[in-house]
Amino acid sequence: MGYRAKFEVWRGDSSGEGALQPFEVDVNEGEVVLDIVHRLQATQAGDLAVRWNCKAGKCGSCSAEVNGRPRLMCMTRMSTFDEHETVTITPLRTFPVIRDLVTDVDFNYVKAREIPSFAPPEDLAPGEYRMSQIDVERPQEFRKCIECYLCQNTCHAVRDHEENKEEFAGPRYLMRVSELDMHPLDVRDRKDAAQEDHGLGYCNITKCCTEVCPEHIKITDNALIPMKERVVDTKYDPLVWLGRKIFKREDLEARHATGRRSLDDAGPGNGSPLPADSIGPVGG
């Protein structure tokens, strides 16, 4: 069943220099791309750098781009390629290369820290929490996230725009805001922060994040769009609007200045059905 496959693997370091190195390597039945990388390490390139842990799609460590597609190497079966095809493996494009297939993903840890944590109700002691299954299911979907950062890598708001990294938390962390907002017992209001501190407005719902999610989480439909709806609900509620107009004009203006739109202006041109920032309430 085995055959000899052609591979091209990115070899390079943190200087940004590097090149694709060609390999010929044995492939056996049932193997995944990560098996092949391990075989290369053991037989041809002992110092080939790759990050991995569980090899079962549960830890989200072995993210890379296989033939240009953001993938977990442990969940990409060799049988999905033609035996004559050259398989190219490159590191995640959005993050700086440390070595070979390993990138510096610290951006994500910085963004994680910027999101205010779960705020529990003060009057409930441990053991007294009561939540219904139906209410926990929505945020539970987002807690399936294995933090592989494929969505962060793919979202064009940062993939093509390094300059947005400062103000845009990326799909994984906007989903985290949405998750906390949907937590039945979280007491913090997160709507303004989603827009103004974490850059929800940069998302033009092109659903690239959802497409690459190995956990099949509907990031855009179930996390980001509902969050946009709730933001819009408060932002354009006439009473809230009037209150702000009267009491917080300066504050609002200051916020508006930082809440600018993505450089990728939304619209038919980039596949987005609706412009950023304009998703109105659906069904009230």
Partner 1 sequence: MADEADGTAVSHHSYDVLVIGAGGAGLRAAIEARMRGKRVAILSKSLFGKAHTVMAEGGIAASMGNANPRDNWEVHYRDTMRGGKFLNNWRMAELHAKEAPQRVWELETYGALFDRTPEGKISQRNFGGHQFPRLAHVGDRTGLELIRTLQQKIVSLQQEDHARTGDYESDLKVFHEFTVTELFKDGDRIAGAFGYRRPTGEYLCFHAPAVVLATGGIGKSFKVTSNSWEYTGDGHALALRAGARLINMEFVQFHPTGMVWPPSVKGILVTESVRGDGGVLKNSEGERFMFRYIPDVFREQYATSEDEGDRWYDDADNNRRPPELLPRDEVARAINNEVKEGRGSPAGGVYLDIASRRTTEFIRKRLPSMYHQFKELADVDITAEPMEVGPTCHYVMGGVEVDPDTASTVVPGLFAAGEVAGGMHGSNRLGGNSLSDLLVFGCRAGAGAADYLDGLGTAPAVGNEAVDAALAEAEKPFSVRGEENAYTLHQELQQTMNDLVGIIRRADEMEMALKRLAELRDRIPRVGVTGGRAYNPGWHLAMDLRNMLMVSQCIAMAALERQESRGGHTRDDYPAMDENWRRELLNCSLADGPDGPEVQLNHQPQPAMRPDLFDLFELDELKKYYTGDELGGHRADRGM
Residues that bind partner 1 (CB under 8 A): 13-14, 28-32, 35, 41-43, 46-61, 75, 77, 98-100, 102, 104-105, 109, 112-113, 116-118, 120, 126-127, 129-133, 136, 139-140, 143-147, 180, 183, 186, 216
Long-range pairs of 184-190 with CB within 8 A, sequence gap ≥ 24: 184/131, 184/132, 184/135, 184/136, 185/120, 185/121, 185/124, 185/129, 185/131, 186/118, 186/119, 186/120, 187/119, 187/120, 187/121, 187/122, 188/116, 188/119, 190/116
Least Å distance, CB 105 to partner 1, is 7
The smaller minimum CB distance to partner 1, of residues 43 and 270, is found at 43
Report, in Å, the least distance between residue 243 CB and partner 1. Answer: 28
Q: How far is the CB of 176 from partner 1 (least distance, A)?
A: 9
- Give least dist CB 239 to partner 1, A: 31
Helix axes 133-143, 171-182, angle to 10 degrees: 170
Give the 3-state DSSP-derived string for 220-231, with helices as H, strands as E and coil as C.
HHHHHHHHHHHH
Which one, 110 or 254, has the nearer CB to partner 1?
Answer: 110
Cβ–Cβ < 8 Å for 120, 188: no
Closest to partner 1 by CB, 150 or 279: 150
Taking the complex as a whole, the smallest distance from the CB of residue 125 to partner 1 amounts, in Å, to 8
Of the pair 138, 244, the CB lying nearest partner 1 is at 138
Which residue's CB is nearer to partner 1, number 134 or number 282?
134
Shortest Cβ 126–partner 1 spacing (Å): 4
Is the Cβ of residue 14 or residue 258 nearer to partner 1 in the bound state? 14
In this structure, which amino acid lies at residue 135? D
For residues 229 and 203, what is the distance between their CA atoms, to the nearest angstrom? 13
**Strand 63-66 relative to strand 18-27: parallel, antiparallel, unpaired?**
unpaired
Q: Which residues contact 52 (CB under 8 A, 6 or more apart)?
A: 34, 61, 62, 73, 74
**Closest CB 18 distance from partner 1, rounded Å:** 13
* Helix locations, 170-220, DSSP H: 171-182, 191-196, 208-212
* H or E segment and range at residue 267: none
* Residue placing its CB nearer to partner 1 in the complex, 53 or 278: 53
